Amino acid sequence: MELTGAQILLESLGREGVDVLFGFPGGAVIDIYHQIPNYPNLKHVLVRHEQGAIHMADGYARATGKVGVCLVTSGPGATNTVTGIATAYMDSIPVVIITGQVPTPLIGNDAFQEVDIVGITRPCTKHNYLVKDITKLAKTIKEAFFLAQSGRPGPVLIDLPKDLQQQKCTYSYPKKVSMRGYNPHYDPNVKQVRKVAELLCKSKHPVIYAGGGVISSGASKEVTKLAQTYGVPVTATLMGLGCFPGDDPMWLGMLGMHGTYAANHSISNADLILAVGARFDDRVTGKLSEFATKATMVHIDIDPTSIQKNVHVHVPIVADCRLFMEALNKEMAAIVEEGEGCPPKTKWLEQTAEWKAKHPLKYKPAAKGGMIKPQSVVEALYKITKGDCIIATEVGQNQMWAAQFFNYKKPRTLLTSGGLGTMGYGFPAAIGAQAAFPEKLVIDVAGDGSIQMCIQELATAVCYNLPVKIVILNNGYLGMVRQWQELFYEKNYCNTCMDVAPDFVKLAEAYGAAGFRVTQAKDLEATLKEAFATPKPCIVDVVVDPEENVYPMVPAGKSLTEMILV
C-alpha cells in the first residue's frame, strides 16, 4: 500500500493504539491536518497554545499509563512545547511529540519558522529523531513509541519535514523493534532478591521509600502487599503519592522538604531503606551528608544511571520495580515457610505510630469569621469526593497542600509536575486526564499565579465539553515564593504580590465555563458540591488567607529532622 508521509504517520498512530491527539496546526504540519478527517478513530483535540498540548498529552499519559501524543508545527509551535517536554522528562512520563519541520532542502537555511528542535530538545528527551528518509518513517514511529514506554519512560520527539509528509512510499508497519545498545534490564537477580529479603528480616527499623517508578512500573500492589504483610512503614515522594493507600496504618506520609514529621524521622532513624523507583531528589534528602545515615540502602530502579547518583547505595539493583517486588514477596513467603520467619518490628511500629500521633499534619484553624484556610479547602475536596477523583495541581503552595491534605489511595490519581515544578501544568494536564476519562471527576488545585499561565485552555475544555473543575486557592500572591521571602529574605515581598488579577468568575464565564466564588468558610462545601454537579468546566475561586504558609518545612540545606513545625 502506497501512502504519503502524513498518512503513514496517522496510520501508525492508529497501530500504536493512539485514540487522542493533542495539537495545534501550522504550515509545516498542514499536510498531516489535511489527512486527519480520514482517520475518524483518532480524536484530535485542538488546543489554544502548544504548551497546553504537551501538558495534556502528559496528563493523559499519567492518568492512563499509556503514551500521550501531541502534534505541533515547526519553529514557535515546536519551541512552545519545550517546557512540557522537560516536565515529562524530569518525571519520566511517556509522551511522543510530533513536530513539523521546514522542507528538507531548506533545513539549515534559516527558513521561515525553522528551528533546530532536535538540537534544542536533546537534553530533555529520552531520544529524538529528524526523519530524512520516507522509507524510515514507519520504523521511526515504532521505535519512538517503544522508547517512550520501555525501560525508564520518557518523552521522544519526531521532527518530520514538510516534504516528507507529502512524499509517498510503500507502507508496512514493523511488528517488533530491536535497537542495538538499548536493552533495558527488567529481570531481578535471584541472589539479590534473597539478599534483600534477608536484610528485611534482620532489620529492626525498615522503611519503604517509594517514588514515581512504583506507579509507572505498576508495582503498587506488590509494594502494598510487602508493607502490609511484614509491617513495613511506607513513605513516598510527591511523585509516588497514590502508590500506597493514604489511609493505611503503615502510611507515614510524604517525606522531604514539606514531608511529615513521621516520614522524615522514620527515614532518619531507619536501619534499612528500600528505595523503590525513586531518585533521591534534593527536595527529598535535605542535607545530603545527614540523609539516612543509619541505614543500609537498597535502591531498586530500572535506570542504572539513577543509582549511586546522589547517595551511596549498599545494594544497587537494576530491575523493573514491579518484577522485583513480586519476586521479593515470593522470597519473603519462602523464608517464612522455611521457618526462619520475619520477626515483627513491633517496637519500631510503636515508635512510628507515636511520631504520627505526636506531629500530624496540621494548621492553625481560621478564627471565627476569619479568612478561609487553604488547607481546609483541600480537606473539603477529600471529604466531598472521598478520594474518588483525579487531582491535578499547579505548582507552589497549592501543590504542597494538595499533596499533604488529600489521601491518595490509588496510583494515577495525582498529576503534578514533580521534578521540574512547572507552573501552568495542572490545568492542561487535567484536561488530558479528562479526555481519557470523561466520566471521572477531575480537579485542578491551582494557585492564582499558576492558573494564569495556561488559562487559555479553558476554551479547549469548553469546546470539547471536558468538565474539569479548577479550584483556585486564591491568596493574591505567588505564595510559595512569598513564603521563602517571609522566612529567609526579611519579608521583602518583591514582585510576588498578584493584586492585579482577572475576575476569575467573569473570566470563566467569558470562556463559556461556569464561575463560582467563595469567601466564607460556611459556603465552601456547598459551592464545591454545586460546581462538581455542574456539567461544564468550572472555576471555583476560593479567596484564602493570603499569608498562610506550608508546614512542616525543612529549610534548604538543613537535615530532614531540622523541621519547622506549625
Ligand X SMILES: Cc1ncc(C[n+]2csc(CCOP(=O)(O)OP(=O)(O)O)c2C)c(N)n1
Enumerate the active-site residues: 50, 112-113, 162, 480
Binding of ligand X by 477 (CB under 6 A): yes
Residue nearest to ligand X (CB): 447
Using the minimum distance from each CB to ligand X, give the nearer residue, 233 or 419. 419
Task: Assess 448 for contact with ligand X (CB under 6 A).
Answer: yes
- Considering beta carbons, is residue 327 or 470 the nearer one to ligand X? 470
The CA distance from 150 to 456, in Å, is 33
Asked if residue 502 binds ligand X (CB under 6 A), the reply is no
480 binds ligand X (CB under 6 A): yes
By CB under 6 A, tell whether 447 contacts ligand X.
Answer: yes
Residue 219 found at the interface with ligand X (CB under 6 A): no
Distance in Å, CB of 532 to ligand X, minimum:
21
In order of 1, 6, 12, 330, 352, the CA distances from 17 in angstroms are 20, 17, 9, 34, 45
Distances 76 to 28, 72, 112, 113, 483 between C-alpha atoms, Å: 11, 9, 10, 7, 35
Region from 252-260, 274-282, 384-392, 473-481 binding ligand X, contact rule CB under 6 A? 473-481
The answer to whether the beta carbons of residues 564 and 555 sit under 8 Å apart is yes
Q: How far is the CB of 394 from ligand X (least distance, A)?
A: 5
In angstroms, give the least distance from the CB of 399 to ligand X: 7
- What values do phi and psi take at 70, rounded to 5? -135, 155
- In this structure, the chain runs to a length of 566
Cβ 480 to ligand X shortest distance, Å: 4
Say which residue the cell 477531575 belongs to: 442
- Under the criterion CB under 6 A, does residue 545 sit at the interface with ligand X? no
Which residue do the cell numbers 509517498 mark?
Answer: 168
The DSSP call for residue 373 is P
Number of residues interacting with ligand X: please give it, by CB under 6 A.
19
- Residue 304: asked if its preceding bond is cis (omega within 30°), the reply is no
Distance, CA of 400 to CA of 421 (rounded, Å)? 11
How far apart are CB 458 and ligand X at their closest, in Å? 16
User: Shortest distance, CB of residue 417 to ligand X, whole angstroms?
Assistant: 8
Q: Which is nearer to ligand X, 151 or 426 (CB)?
A: 426
Binds ligand X (CB under 6 A): choice among 200, 273, 311, 473:
473
Nearer to ligand X by Cβ, of 144 and 257: the residue is 257
CA distance from start to end of the chain: 67
Smallest distance from ligand X to CB 277, Å: 24
Report how far residue 367's alpha carbon sits from residue 381's, in angstroms, rounded to the nearest whole number.
Answer: 21
The x, y and z cell numbers of residue 125, run together, are 528527551
Alpha carbon distances (Å) from 177 to 10, 155, 543: 19, 18, 53
Among 478, 514, 524, 528, binds ligand X (CB under 6 A): 478
DSSP secondary structure, 300-363, as one string: EES-GGGTTSSS--SEEEES-HHHHHHHHHHHHHHHHHHT------HHHHHHHHHHHHHS-S--
Which CB, 317 or 540, lies closer to ligand X? 540
Nearer to ligand X, 130 or 553 (CB): 553
Residue 343 beta carbon to ligand X: minimum distance, rounded to whole angstroms: 45
Site membership for ligand X, residue 192 (CB under 6 A): no
Stretch touching ligand X by CB under 6 A, among 313-321, 345-353, 384-392, 443-451: 443-451
Q: How far is the CB of 69 from ligand X (least distance, A)?
A: 23
Any idea of the CA torsion for 266, 268, 271, 274, to the nearest 10 degrees? 70
Read off the C-alpha cell for 299.
535502591
DSSP letters for 209-265 = EE-HHHHHHT-HHHHHHHHHHHT--EEE-TTTTTSS-TTSTTEEEE-STT--HHHHH
Establish if 266 lies at the interface with ligand X (CB under 6 A): no
Q: How far is the CB of 380 from ligand X (least distance, A)?
A: 16
CA distances from 57 to 13, 48, 94, 220, 506 (A): 14, 14, 9, 23, 28
Site for ligand X in 1-60 (CB under 6 A): none
d(CA 521, CA 543): 10
**Based on CB atoms, which residue is closest to ligand X, 233 or 476?**
476
Judged by CB, which is closer to ligand X: 396, or 515? 396
Which residues from 385-424 bind ligand X, rule CB under 6 A?
Answer: 394-398, 421-423
Among 449, 467, 515, 552, binds ligand X (CB under 6 A): 449
Measured from the CB atom, is 161 or 479 closer to ligand X? Answer: 479
- 3-state class (DSSP) for residue 274: strand
Bridge partners (DSSP) of residue 393 are 445
Q: How far is the CB of 450 from ligand X (least distance, A)?
A: 3
Q: What is the largest CA-CA distance in the chain?
A: 73
Closest CA to 97 of 145, 148, 158, 53: 158
Question: Alpha-carbon distance 432 to 20, whole Å?
Answer: 9
Residue from 246, 411, 479, 515 touching ligand X (CB under 6 A): that is 479
430 near ligand X, rule: CB under 6 A:
no
Which residue lies nearer to ligand X by CB, 194 or 283? 283
Residue 475 binds ligand X, judged by CB under 6 A: yes
Nearest to ligand X of 55, 299 (CB atom): 55
Q: How far is CA 300 from CA 213, 281, 324, 552, in A?
A: 9, 15, 8, 28
Tell me the one-letter amino acid at 442: V
Which residues of this protein are in contact with ligand X, per CB under 6 A? 394-398, 421-423, 447-450, 473, 475, 477-481
